[in-house]
Amino acid sequence: WAGVVTDGTAVYALSMDHNVYAFGTQSKDLLWKTDVSGAVAATPILEDGILYIATLNKEALAIDTADGSILWRTDVEDFTWAPPAIVEDMVIVINASGEVFAIHKSEGNVAWTADSNGEVTAAAVSVDGGFVVVNHDMDIILFDLEGNKVWSNDLDYETGSLPSTPVVVGDLI
C-alpha cells in the first residue's frame, strides 16, 4: 500500500508483510530486508540516509539505509495510516486516533504530543514556524513547533472528509 522512495542508489519498498526491502537501482538485487514487526501502509520519508516509517503496529521507526539497521523505534499508541513528515529536527507522526507525535529525528524520543481532534490519514505539511494537519472531520489545523494550535478552520461541510495531504503554495493551503 505504501509508495516507494529512492535515493538514486536503492529503492526502498515497505510491505504489508512487516518488512522493508532495499533493492539496487542498477542491479535490482535485494540489498537488505528488515523486519519492522508490523505492516506498513504509509509512504516513508527518506532524508540523509535515514528512512522514517510509521506502522500499523503502533510504532514509528528510523532505519539506516546503508544496512537496514533500526536506529530507533517509538510507540505512537495507535496504528498509523498517515505518512510521517519532517519538520525541522522532528519527525511528525499522526496516529489513526488523530494524536500528533513530534519525535526527535536523532534519538527517537517524543518531544511532545497534541490532538488533531479527528482521524488523520494524510501527512502533515511543513510551513514557516510549524506545520498543517487535516483530519476527516474537515478541520485544517496549524500547529507551532511546540505543539500548540495556532489556529483551526472547520470547513463545516455536512459530508466529506480530508483524507489527502494538503498542498502549500506561498501563504495558501
On the question of pLDDT at 101 being above 70, the answer is yes
Confidence of residue 159 (pLDDT cuts 50, 70, 90): low
Flag whether pLDDT at 158 surpasses 90. Answer: no
Mean pLDDT is lowest, of 27-31, 34-38, 155-159, 162-166, for 155-159
- Sort 116 into a burial class: Cβ within 10 Å, 0-12 / 13-18 / 19+: buried
For all residues of the chain together, what is the average pLDDT?
Answer: 93
Q: Is the dihedral of CA 76, 85, 1, 173 positive or negative?
A: positive
pTM: 0.92
- Collapsed DSSP state (helix, strand, coil) of residue 110: strand
- At 43 the pLDDT is 94
Calpha distance 89→53 (Å, rounded) = 16
- Residue 159, SS3? coil
